[in-house]
Structures are given as C-alpha cells and as structure tokens.
Amino acid sequence: MTTLRTTPPLFTPSDRRLAQAVSKLAFCNPFLPERIAFEREVLGEDFVESDGVWSLRVDAVGPAPNVAALGRRAEALVARAGERLARSGGGGSPARTATPVIAEDLQLFEDAVLYVLYHRFEGRFLDLVLHAPERAGARPRVGFYGEYLSDAERLLAPAAGRLPTPFEPAHVFACLFQVRRAFHQLFAHIAGGSMPTARLRAGVWQSMFTHDMRRYRRTLFDKMGDLTTLVTGPTGTGKELVARAIGLSRFIPFDPRTQAFADGFAEPFHALNLSALSPALIESELFGHMRGSFTGARADRKGWLEVCRPLGTVFLDEIGDLDASLQVKLLRVLQARTFQRIGDTETRRFHGKVIAATNRDLAREMRAGRFREDFYYRLCSDILVTPSLREQLRESPGELRNLVRFLARRMLGADAEADGLAAEVEDWIGKRLGTDYAWPGNVRELEQCVRNVLIRREYLPPAADPHDSSGAPAGGAGGGTRERLWRGAAEGTLSADELLRRYCSLVYAQAGSYEEASRRLGLDRRTVKARVDARLVEELRGGPGGATQAAPDARE
C-alpha cells in the first residue's frame, strides 16, 4: 500500500490574508484611495500614515514611506510560499507525490512574484526612461533583462507547470516597464496634490490600463490604440499634458532575442492645434498631399497620420473647432483606420492612437449643428475632464503653494533661487490678488503670474470674464467686474493709466454716451473716448446683449 506524502497548505491563514492584500495592491489603480487600504492590509502595524494623494510634491524627501516595507513584506511572502510549493512537489516532481494546490493559491503566488519583480527592477526601468535616446525609433539594448529573466525563473520555479496561465517573461517585462513609464509620465506632466488632480490621475491611469489590469495584461495591451481618448476641460488646465502622459505610456513589446523594445519610447507623440490652422492646412498636415494637388504642393508629403508609428499617438487639440468637412474625413479614420493623401487615390492605413481635446461644450455644439453626432460618438469611447485651478484650490486651499513652488523650480531649478521666487510669488498673490481670486486662466495663468513676478515683480490680470471658469456668473451683471475694480483701487495695485481706463469705462457704461460721461468726469470728450475699453464696458453691462445699462452711444 502506497502512502501519499502530506504537506502543509501553500499559505498559512495569516499568509493567505497577506497574499490576498498583495494581489489587490499589485493590480489596483494606485491613484485611488483603495491603494492606501491595501497598503495598510499588507503592513498592519508597520503602516506609516502619509499623504493619501500620490503626486510630485516639491517638498518630498525620498520615496513614499511604505514602499520599501511593502517590498520586503512581499519578498518574505514569496520565499515562504516558494518553499512550501517545492515541498509539495513543484518544479517538475511527479504529480502523484504532490498535494494538489488550488488555482487560487497559485494565482496569488504569481501575483506576489510580479509585485516582487517590479519592486526589484523599477529603479532600472526608470533609468531607461530618463536616459532614453532622443533620436526617433532608437532601440537600445536592455542590459539587465538577463538578470530579470533569471530572477523570474528562480522565483517561479517551485510552481513550474502549475500556474493557471503560462508565464511569458518578455511580455511581463514589457508590462512592468509600461507601469513604470506610466508613473513617470503622470508625475512629470500632471502636477498638484489636490483631490481633483488625484482623481484626474486615477482617470488617466484607467485610460492607460482600463479598470481591470489583469484583462489588460491578457488581451488589451495591444488594442488600446484602437480606442480614442477625448480630453475636455477649461482652457489652461493641461489637456495636452494629459494627452502626452497617455501617449508616452503606451505598451511597447519586448524582443528577448535582441533584448530591446520593439520601438523607441522617447517622443512617439505628434500634436496639432486645429484652431491655429485653416481647414486646408489641417487636411494637408493630417493626411499629407501629392505633388501638384494644389498650388504650392511642389513635392509629395506625408501627413501626421502616415508619419505616426503603430505605437505612436496623434494629438488633435481644439477638436471642437474642426470644420465639418474634415470631421467627415476624420470619422473615416476612426471607423476604418484608413485615409488618403490629398490628390491621391491610394488608401493608406493609420496604425497609431488618436487623442483629442477641446474646451468647448460638444453637446451644445451638436445641438447647434456645428459638430457631428456620429463623429462625437467615435471620439467619446474614453473621456477625461481636467479640473479648473479654482476647483482644485476650493478643495485644497494649500495646493497653491505647492503649484507655485513646482512652477518656480521648473523655471529656475531645484535650488534656493527657485524657493525664493516661490515665496515672492506667494506673498504677491496673497497681498494683491487674495485667496479668493478665481484664476480664470487656470494653471497656465498661474504660470504666467510666476513669470511676471520673476521679471517685473508684479502680475496684472487681464480684464476678467464676467463668467468664471465653471460658467457661473461672477456677481451678477457686471458686479464681479466692479468689485475687482474697487478692490484694485483700494489695494493700490492699479497704475494711474489703468485706473483711469477702468473708471472711464465704468462711467461710460452707466452714462450711455461719451457726452454724458465726459460731463460727469470733467474730461474732454475725446479723452474719454480714447480711454474707454469696449470689452470692459460689455462686462459691466452684463455680457453680450446685456440690457441692464443704457445702450451704447449710436452716434459714436
């Protein structure tokens, strides 16, 4: 009679709970609050409380406090489970001498190994990104792939032949590298530690990997280019930066024979601002043209759709301004992935990814007949909304300081000069604009504020729109404009010329004629006329078509 050798289970009860937590941590969206809960599950009493928002903070010292501890805990878990697997007959031992291990435990073991591999090599992955060759299509050899392969085979050897799905080392290597690139691009392009920005990063992560990273690893890694991403939000909120983060984080296969990635990953990103070009020029830039197809076409030319490599991205900014005829042509590209150069009958294929952006309300544009519904429904498979700066500061008032320091360091470098400029900008904003300033130009305006203070030690905002960035009226018909005028005068932030311009505009808006305004001001009528700002008058009257004040002087 043969007695089967018995072995302990793969996981003890405590190790099973740990493995389940590591598995959830490995595949979660790291920018959602769930990450903190999973870290706490893994570390228990060793968990260190820290900022729940992962962001590039200028005052951060070293890596996040729990990262190293998480790696050590996962390493120890894999070592213990590997020993138990080896005793149970893994690694090629006869199946009749082994106690069967359930598939769920093997999956947890593999997930923990993946976490360990990422933790071991994430620093070298980052070095690849930071030192990537700038020339297009460069494919440097990855010198540490052999070490990775040795580690992966050794860690998984006890489970050889028993994993639920075959382990493909090169594919996993490419996936781990994509995760590290995604972290780098998110931190490099999306600054800020507010909750609205954290939610944006979580959304961008889903645009890169979807909500299910297991499915992404199995089947979606090479299909995301077929899905168009639409980025919407107010002007100046970083829509192109979001697009760059996504475009520069696409999956790139790894070739184990050459030990190099299938394509370069430095700059496979092509941006085109549609509002800055005429429809004819947009068509030529996108689709290319043949020699003689129009006046000035002296040679054949490839457009961005043809230049873009299969793993590259074409970014179409201000898509809401696109002419209707070009919407039809782009619709064909999104539907069939085909196009033709201007003046050519040959059909060519587009293999890259399209990301579009707009600050327009596309629902309103469709109702007005300016934007095609069929085109919109090809764009909206994945939608991201960038938050306004006002929204960020409303939820996290202290975020202004972090953003100012981030912008100052980007201009001057991470030294005392940048910190001195940041302090100067913060002081100026606090004394001259106040904490309730709406920042209608969003982060782009804040950046210009930093530059202005750097050069002139002051920043004079443009005449503000009567509607703030969220679309809500600013204090009724012209009320917000009047409030800003009086506040500027009271705080002494206006030059004499600016004060006279604004006051003449205010009196003219109330009087309704240059004659009456000049009488009230005690100035010559021509002086008043020269000083009145038409845009400011419109704001004071409550916007276009406002009827809250007297009509303009038709004789003038």
Same domain, 103 and 27: yes
Asked whether residue 468 is domain-assigned, the answer is no
Q: What is the mean pLDDT of residues 275-287?
A: 91
Q: Please tell me the least confidently modeled range out of 135-149, 189-203, 392-406, 454-468.
A: 454-468
Is residue 63 one of the residues assigned to a domain? yes
Number of folded domains in the chain? 4
Same domain, 87 and 102: yes
- Residue 99 predicted with pLDDT over 70: no
What CATH code is carried by the domain that includes residue 323? 3.40.50.300
Please, are residues 390 and 470 in contact by the beta-carbon 8 Å criterion?
A: yes
Examine residue 105 and state whether it is found in any structural domain, yes or no: yes
pLDDT at 373: 95
To which residue do tokens 């898509």 refer?
319
In order, the DSSP letters of 318-374 are TGGG--HHHHHHHHHHHHHSEE--BT----EE--SEEEEEESS-HHHHHHTTSS-HH
Same domain assignment for residues 379 and 245: yes
- 170 and 279 part of one domain: no
pTM here?
A: 0.79
Which range has the worst mean pLDDT, 106-110, 122-126, 356-360, 505-509? Answer: 505-509
Q: At which of 408, 432, 462 does a domain end? A: 462
Residue 224, domain member (yes or no): no
Could you report the per-residue pLDDT of 30-59, keeping only the tens digit for each? 998 889 999 999 999 999 887 656 554 544
> Does residue 218 lie within any of the structural domains?
no
**20 with 136, same domain?**
yes
Instruction: Please tell me whether residues 362 and 271 are part of one structural domain.
Output: yes
CA atoms within 13 A on the CB side of 399: 24
Nearest to 117 by CA among 90, 144, 96, 142: 144
**Are 146 and 284 in the same domain?**
no
Range of the domain at 432: 392-462
Q: 400 and 345 in one domain?
A: no
List pLDDT tens digits, range 76-94.
999 999 998 888 765 544 4
Phi/psi class of residue 90: alpha, beta or left (left: φ > 0; alpha: ψ in -120 to 50)?
beta
Segment 110-131, tens digit of pLDDT: 999 999 999 999 999 999 999 8
pLDDT for the residue 7:
47
Q: H or E element: which one contains 310?
A: none
Assigned token pair, 204: 């961008």
- pLDDT tens column, 137-183: 678 899 999 999 999 999 999 988 888 888 999 999 999 999 999 99
Tokens of 119: 């933790």
Choosing from 462, 493, 522, the residue where a domain stops is: 462
List beta partners, residue 272.
Answer: 316
Q: Are residues 157 and 23 in the same domain?
A: yes
Both tokens of residue 185?
Answer: 């691009």
Mean residue pLDDT of the chain comes to 85
Question: What band does 211 get if pLDDT is binned at 50, 70 and 90?
Answer: very high
CA angle 141, 145, 151 (to 5 degrees): 170
Considering the domain architecture, whether residues 49 and 174 belong to the same structural domain is answered as yes
Q: What is the pLDDT of residue 59?
A: 46
Q: Do 493 and 440 share a structural domain?
A: no
257 in a structural domain: yes
Residue 204 counted as domain residue: no
The residues near 345 (Cβ < 8 Å, ≥ 6 apart) are none
The tens digit of pLDDT for each residue in 369-398 reads: 999 999 999 999 999 999 999 999 998 888
- 266 and 308 Cβ atoms separated by less than 8 Å: no
Please state, in angstroms and rounded to a whole number, the distance separating the CA atoms of residues 160 and 394.
54
Quickly state the pLDDT bin for 483 (edges 50, 70, 90): low
The answer, yes or no, to whether residue 100 has pLDDT greater than 80, is no
Residue 4 forms part of a structural domain:
no
**More confident site: 274 or 140:** 274
Same domain, 370 and 478: no
Q: Which of 325, 360, 387 is the last residue of a domain?
A: 387
Q: Which residues contact 330 (CB under 8 A, 6 or more apart)?
A: 286, 316, 322, 375
